[in-house]
Structure 1
Amino acid sequence: MLRAFLDILFPPLCHVCRSFIPAAGPLHICSGCRDAISPISSPLCDLCGTPFGTIGGSDHRCGACSLSPPRFDAARAATLFDGPVRDMIHRFKYDRRVQLARPLGLLAAETLASWAAAAAADLVVPVPLHVRRLRQRGFNQAILLGQVVAGQWHLPLDRTCLRRIRWTEPQVNLAAAERAANVRGAFAVTAPARVAGRRIILVDDVFTTGSTVAECARVLKGAGAGEVLVVTVARAVA
Structure 2
Amino acid sequence: MLLRPLLDLLFPPLCHCCKTFIPNAGDLLICPACLEKITFLVTPLCPSCGTPFKTENGRDHLCGACLKHPPSHLSRSATLYAGPVQELIHRFKYGYKVHLGDPLGIMMSQALSPFREDAAPDLVVPVPLHRKRLRQRGFNQSQLIGEVLAKRWKLRIDTGSLCRERWTEPQTSLDAEQRRDNVKGAFAVRRPERLRGKRVLLVDDVCTTGSTLSACAEALEEAGAQAVSAVTVARSLPF
Taking the TM superposition and a 5 Å limit, the aligned residue runs for 1:116-127 are 116-127=116-127
> Cα distance, 1:134 vs. partner?
0.5
How far does the alpha carbon of each residue in 1:129-162 deviate from its partner, in whole angstroms, 9 at most, with x for none? 0111111101000000000111111110001110
Instruction: Specify the SS of the correspondent of 1:167.
Output: coil
Q: Point out where structure 2 has 5 or more consecutive residues left out of the alignment.
A: none
Taking the TM superposition and a 5 Å limit, the aligned residue runs for 1:141-220 are 141-220=141-220
Taking the TM superposition and a 5 Å limit, the aligned residue runs for 1:73-152 are 73-152=73-152
User: What amino acid maps onto 2:181 in structure 1?
Assistant: A
Percent identity (aligned):
55
- Structure-2 separation of matches of 1:199 and 1:183: 23
- Structure-1 separation of matches of 2:194 and 2:59: 36
**Aligned position for 2:56:** 55
Q: Point out where structure 1 has 5 or more consecutive residues left out of the alignment.
A: none
**Aligned position for 1:2:** 3
User: What amino acid maps onto 1:2 in structure 2?
Assistant: L
- Structure-2 separation of matches of 1:181 and 1:67: 16
- Structure-1 separation of matches of 2:102 and 2:18: 17
Instruction: Specify the SS of the correspondent of 2:157.
Output: coil
- Structure-2 separation of matches of 1:79 and 1:129: 23
More deviation in 123-132 or 62-71?
Answer: 62-71
> Cα distance, 1:226 vs. partner?
1.2
User: What amino acid maps onto 1:126 in structure 2?
Assistant: P
TM-score, L = length of structure 2: 0.97
Q: Does 1:68 align with 2:72?
A: no
More deviation in 172-181 or 228-237?
Answer: 172-181
User: What amino acid maps onto 2:86 in structure 1?
Assistant: R
**Aligned position for 1:237:** 237
- Structure-1 separation of matches of 2:61 and 2:181: 28
More deviation in 87-96 or 108-117?
Answer: 108-117
- Structure-2 separation of matches of 1:68 and 1:76: 17
Instruction: Specify the SS of the correspondent of 1:181.
Output: helix
> Cα distance, 1:66 vs. partner?
1.8
- Structure-2 separation of matches of 1:80 and 1:139: 24
How far does the alpha carbon of each residue in 1:109-141 deviate from its partner, in whole angstroms, 9 at most, with x for none? 100011101211111000000111111101000
More deviation in 104-113 or 59-68?
Answer: 59-68
Instruction: Specify the SS of the correspondent of 1:124.
Output: strand
